[in-house]
Amino acid sequence: MPTTCQFDSKTGDGIAVRARVRHGTAFTLDVDLCLPGRGVSAVFGPSGCGKTTLLRCVAGLTRPAPGRVVVNGDTWHDDGAGVWRPTHRRPLGLVFQEASLFDHLTVQGNLDFGLKRVPAAERRVALAQAVELLGIGPLLARRPANLSGGERQRVAIARALATSPRLLLLDEPLASLDAARKAELLPYFERLSRELGIPMLYVTHSLDEVARLADHLLLLEAGRLHALGPTAGLLARLDVALAHGDAAGTLIEGTVAALDAADHLMHVRFAGGVLQCVQAPGTPVRAPGQPLRLRVQARDVSLALSPAADTSILNVLPATVRSLADDGPAQVLVALDAGGAALLARVTRKSARALALAPGRRVFAQVKGVAVLD
Amino acid sequence: MLDANSLAAIRLTIELSVLTTLILLVLGTPLAWWVARGRSRWRSPARALVSLPLVLPPSVLGFYLLVALGANGPLGQLTQALGWGTLAFTFWGLLIGSIIYSLPFVVQPLINAFESLGQRPLEAAATLRAGPLDAFWHVALPLARPGYLTGAVMGFAHTLGEFGVVLMIGGNIPGATRVISVQIYDHVEALEYAQAHWLAGGMLLFSFTVLLALHLTQARQRSP
Query: pLDDT tens digits for chain B (224 residues)?
Result: 788 888 999 999 999 999 999 999 999 999 999 999 988 899 999 999 999 999 999 899 999 999 998 888 898 899 888 888 888 888 999 999 999 999 999 999 999 999 999 999 999 999 999 999 999 999 999 999 999 999 999 999 999 988 888 888 888 888 888 899 999 999 999 999 999 999 999 999 999 999 999 999 888 877 65
Q: What is the dihedral of CA A293, A299, A301, A302, to 10 degrees?
A: 180
Considering the domain architecture, whether residues A259 and A186 belong to the same structural domain is answered as no
Residue A150: CATH number of its domain? 3.40.50.300
Considering the domain architecture, whether residues A155 and A62 belong to the same structural domain is answered as yes
Considering the domain architecture, whether residues A166 and A227 belong to the same structural domain is answered as yes
Is A87 part of a structural domain of the chain? yes
Share of chain A above pLDDT 70, in %: 95
**Which of A209, A244, A279 is a domain's end point?**
A244
Closest CA to A228 of A93, A26, A36: A36
Comparing A135-149, A155-169, A269-283, which segment has the lowest mean pLDDT? A269-283
pLDDT tens by residue, A199-255? 999 999 888 888 888 999 999 988 899 889 998 888 888 777 676 777 788 888 889
Is A10 part of a structural domain of the chain? no
Considering the domain architecture, whether residues A26 and A51 belong to the same structural domain is answered as yes
What's the pLDDT at A237? 82
Q: How far is the alpha carbon of B39 from chain A, nearest alpha carbon, in Å?
A: 16
**Which of A216, A244, A272 is a domain's end point?**
A244
What's the pLDDT at A3? 46
Considering the domain architecture, whether residues A207 and A68 belong to the same structural domain is answered as yes
CB B220 within 8 A of CB B24: no
Look at A61 and B126 and tell me if their CB atoms are within 8 Å: yes
CB-based contacts of A304, cutoff 8 Å, min separation 6: A316, A355, A363, A364, A366
Cα separation, B25 vs B149, in Å, equals 10
Mutation pick from A94, A102, A147 vs chain B, by most beta carbons of B within 10 Å, is A102
Considering the domain architecture, whether residues A168 and A297 belong to the same structural domain is answered as no
Q: Which residues of B touch A163 (CB under 8 A)?
A: 128-129
Size of interface A-B (CB pairs under 8 A): 66
Is A233 part of a structural domain of the chain? yes
Considering the domain architecture, whether residues A210 and A270 belong to the same structural domain is answered as no
Q: How far is the alpha carbon of A89 from chain B, nearest alpha carbon, in Å?
A: 6
Mutation pick from A58, A62, A100 vs chain B, by most beta carbons of B within 10 Å, is A100
pTM: 0.81
First to last CA, chain A: 37
**B142 vs A59, A104, A117: nearest CB:** A104
Please give the average per-residue pLDDT across A136-151, as a whole number: 92
Q: How far is the alpha carbon of A337 from chain B, nearest alpha carbon, in Å?
A: 44
State the sign of the Cα–Cα–Cα–Cα dihedral A94, A95, A100, A102. positive
Domains of chain B by range and CATH? 4-35+57-222 (1.10.3720.10)
Considering the domain architecture, whether residues A291 and A219 belong to the same structural domain is answered as no
Is A2 part of a structural domain of the chain? no
A87 in contact with B, Cβ within 8 Å: yes
Q: How many residues does chain B have?
A: 224
Is A8 part of a structural domain of the chain? no
Give chain B as a DSSP string.
---HHHHHHHHHHHHHHHHHHHHHHHHHHHHHHHHHH---TTHHHHHHHHHHHHHS-HHHHHHHHHHHHSTTSHHHHHHHHTT----TTSHHHHHHHHHHHHHHHHHHHHHHHHHHH-SHHHHHHHHTT--HHHHIIIIIHHHTHHHHHHHHHHHHHHHHT--HHHHHHT---TTTT--HHHHHHHHHHTT-HHHHHHHHHHHHHHHHHHHHHHHHHHHHHH--
With a cut of 60, say whether residue A4 has pLDDT above it: no
Number of domains in chain A: 2
Considering only alpha carbons, which residue of chain A is nearest residue B144?
A104
Q: Which residues of B touch A114 (CB under 8 A)?
A: 127-129
Is A6 part of a structural domain of the chain? no
A173 in contact with B, Cβ within 8 Å: no
**Which of A188, A217, A244 is a domain's end point?**
A244
Considering the domain architecture, whether residues A239 and A310 belong to the same structural domain is answered as no
Residue A308: CATH number of its domain? 2.40.50.100
Is A9 part of a structural domain of the chain? no
Cα separation, A177 vs A95, in Å, equals 14
Q: Which residues of A touch B126 (CB under 8 A)?
A: 60-61, 86-88
DSSP 3-state of A250: strand
Helix (H) or strand (E) holding A363: strand A362-367
Cα separation, A154 vs A177, in Å, equals 12
Look at A113 and B125 and tell me if their CB atoms are within 8 Å: yes
ipTM exceeding the 0.85 mark: no
Considering the domain architecture, whether residues A111 and A201 belong to the same structural domain is answered as yes
- How are strands ordered across the β-sheet holding A249-260? A273-278, A265-270, A249-260, A291-297, A371-372
Considering the domain architecture, whether residues A192 and A259 belong to the same structural domain is answered as no
- Which residue range is the domain that position A268 belongs to? 249-372
What's the pLDDT at A2? 45
Q: Which residues of A touch B135 (CB under 8 A)?
A: 88
Is A1 part of a structural domain of the chain? no
Q: How far is the alpha carbon of B48 from chain A, nearest alpha carbon, in Å?
A: 29
Please give the average per-residue pLDDT across A135-160, as a whole number: 92
Comparing A158-162, A287-291, B27-31, B196-200, which segment has the lowest mean pLDDT? A287-291
Considering the domain architecture, whether residues A196 and A141 belong to the same structural domain is answered as yes
Q: How far is the alpha carbon of A374 from chain B, nearest alpha carbon, in Å?
A: 30
Q: Which residues of B touch A101 (CB under 8 A)?
A: 124
Mutation pick from B119, B123, B127 vs chain A, by most beta carbons of A within 10 Å, is B127
Please give the average per-residue pLDDT across A158-185, as a whole number: 87
Q: Which has more pLDDT, A177 or B136?
A: B136
Q: Which residues of B touch A117 (CB under 8 A)?
A: 128-130, 134
